[in-house]
Structure formats: structure tokens, C-alpha cells
Amino acid sequence: MSFQQISFDIDDQVAVVTLNRPEKLNTWTPIMGGELLEAFRRIDDDPNVRVAVLTGAGERAFCAGADMDFFAGQIAAGGGTGTKASGGSPARVADYPLLMARLSKPVIAALNGYALGVGATMPLLCDMRIAAEEAKIGFLFSRMGVMAELGSTFLLPRLVGVARACELMLTGKMFTAGECEHMGLVNHVVPRARLMDRVLELAQEMKQCAPLSLALTRQALYQGLEAPFEAQVRFEGYSLDYLYRSQDHAEAVKAFREKRPPRFVGR
């Protein structure tokens, strides 16, 4: 599949997915949604990818929300908004958050500019969010007569607490990157010129970890948002038993004793 509205690159085991409509501030369409789904399926299936990054092209926006021109055309045609992608295929919006929830690789969102509407909810599906100082984040849905999607009403209160989530979503206003860092919505705020450097530094840190360990730890963290404590203890026990018998654990022990970096293979 060739991509029209995103770009997709893999370099040194890091996959970078870029929303690539800078002339439209990377606004979302069902075409872009389908391409994101395909890109992250490839990432999940590719053993050469250890970490993924999601960002936007240009300096002004990560994603400034949904493409209003596209949706105005849909309404004028009597088809509602966002129900069909190019060629008449259903836009299965729910598939994307479900895929991201069970992804086997960690994902970092690099917010280079405006992250509005769906541009604010997409990063919630990533494991970390790094924002440029110039970025602004806004859950504008209520001001547009709709509501947030992509599982964001589940994720946001768990990230920032219910009161903060209500402030973010029920006012529909934009917040600075610094304000969002204070709330716990973003991990770090850096100068825009340093954004990708900081993101790739984090990616390099994660690449030093065993892939199976990252995958199971990520699964446990998100599973723990809704599972009982006893279930988590059991899952940790089963996962540890599996990991103790993995090639990567044996390699880590051997590398430690030989005073060298481990060479993990994901088995």
C-alpha cells in the first residue's frame, strides 16, 4: 500500500509515521485514518521495528483536527460526516484505537504544533507525548457539536484525573504545552528545534531494552487500568515465568557477566 496522506520511514529500528498534509495543517480525513491503521499494522508485524514515533509534517501543526472542507462536502452530498473513506469503503474508526491498545511496540507522539480535536485524541493512544514549546492542545469537540473519540474518554481521565479531563474536554479551549505538562498530559516540553532529538533519545533508551519485556510490560500497564489487582499479580507471574525462560533474558545475564551490552533478538 502506497500512502497519500502520511509518510512512513524506518531507520535504525525506529519507525516514524508522519501526518503529511502540511498545507492543510495535517488535518484528518478517513483516508488518513485508513493509512494510519495500515502503517501501525506494519509496525506491529515487523520484527525489525523496536520503537515507533507519530508526528506531523511542517512546523505549524501536528494535526489541527478534522478536515472541515472534506466533511462539508460529505454533508452536502447527504452522507453525513466521516462515514466513508475514498472509494466508498467504510471508515472503521474503532479499529485504530483497538490496534494501538494491543500494539507490541512502544509509541512516542512528537507534537510539533497545534494538536486539536482528533489531533489531541490520537496522541492519547501513544505511550508518551513530547511537545514542542510552541504546541497547543485542544479538545475542541464540544465547540463543534460533537464529542471526543478514539477511546479518549476512557484514557484522558486516567492520565490526568477526572477534574482535569473535564476542564480539558468540557471547556473546548486550547492549552499551552506547558500547561499540559503540568497536568500530566505530556511527558516533556522542549524547544521545537530539539523535539525530534529528544524523541529519538527516548527511542534509543527503549531500544536498549528487550523487545519481549517491553511488549509484556506495555500490555500489563494498560491492562492494569481496568483489571483487578489479583489479576495483575497473576499476569505478572505468568509473564515473568515466560520471560525468565527467554533467550533475551539469558543474553542479558550473559552480557552483564561479560560486561558488554546485550544483543537482544526478541525471543
Averaged in consecutive runs of 10 residues, what is the pLDDT profile of the chain (267 residues)? 92 97 95 95 96 96 91 70 43 83 97 97 98 97 92 96 97 97 98 96 96 96 94 96 95 92 90
Tell me, yes or no, whether 145 and 170 share the same domain.
yes
pLDDT of residue 217: 97
- pLDDT of 94 reads 84
Q: Are 113 and 36 found together in one domain?
A: yes
Domain's final residue, options 189, 207, 225: 207
Residues 131 and 29 in one domain: yes
Q: Are residues 197 and 71 in the same domain?
A: yes
Looking at residue 266, its pLDDT comes to 86
Task: Specify the 3-state DSSP secondary structure of 205.
Answer: helix
Q: What is the CATH number of the domain that holds 17?
A: 3.90.226.10
- Residues 250, 218: Cα–Cα separation, whole Å: 21
> What is the number of domains present in the chain?
2
112 DSSP 8-state letter? -
Task: For residue 266, tell me if it sits in a domain.
Answer: no
Q: Is residue 133 part of a domain?
A: yes
Q: State if pTM tops 0.75.
A: yes
Domain-located, residue 264: no
What's the pLDDT score for residue 86? 41
Same domain, 244 and 147: no
pLDDT value, residue 23: 95
CA nearest neighbour of 128 among 221, 65, 59: 221
Average pLDDT of the chain to the nearest whole number: 92
118 and 36 in a common domain: yes
Are 58 and 106 found together in one domain? yes
Task: Please give the grid coordinates belonging to residue 160.
Answer: 490526568
Contacts of 234 (CB under 8 A, 6+ apart): none
Say if residues 151 and 100 touch (Cβ distance below 8 Å). no
In-domain check, residue 112: yes
Whether residues 232 and 165 fall in one domain: no
For residue range 139-185, list pLDDT tens digits in order.
999 998 889 999 999 999 999 999 999 999 999 999 999 999 999 99
Q: Which domain holds residue 168?
A: 6-207
Q: Is the same domain home to 102 and 155?
A: yes
Query: Quick one: which of 155, 153, 160, 157 has its CA closest to 183?
Result: 160
- The answer to the question of residue 265 being in a domain is no
Is the residue at 263 inside a domain? no
Q: 195 and 93, same structural domain?
A: yes
> Among 186, 207, 228, where does a domain finish?
207
pLDDT value of residue 79: 58
Q: Are residues 139 and 235 in the same domain?
A: no
d(CA 17, CA 53): 6
Tell which of 207, 222, 250 closes a domain.
207
Residue 1 confidence (pLDDT): 65
Are 186 and 219 within one domain? no
Amino acid identity at 19: L
The CATH number of whichever domain residue 254 belongs to comes to 1.10.12
Q: Looking at the domain assignment, is residue 84 inside a domain?
A: yes
Residue 202: the pLDDT is 97
Burial 175-210 (b: 16+ CB within 10 A, else e): bebeebbebebbeebbebeebbebbbebbeebbebb
pLDDT above 90: percentage of residues in the chain: 86
What is the identity of the amino acid at 167?
E
Q: Per the domain annotation, does 267 fall within a domain?
A: no
Contact 47/266 with Cβ under 8 angstroms? yes
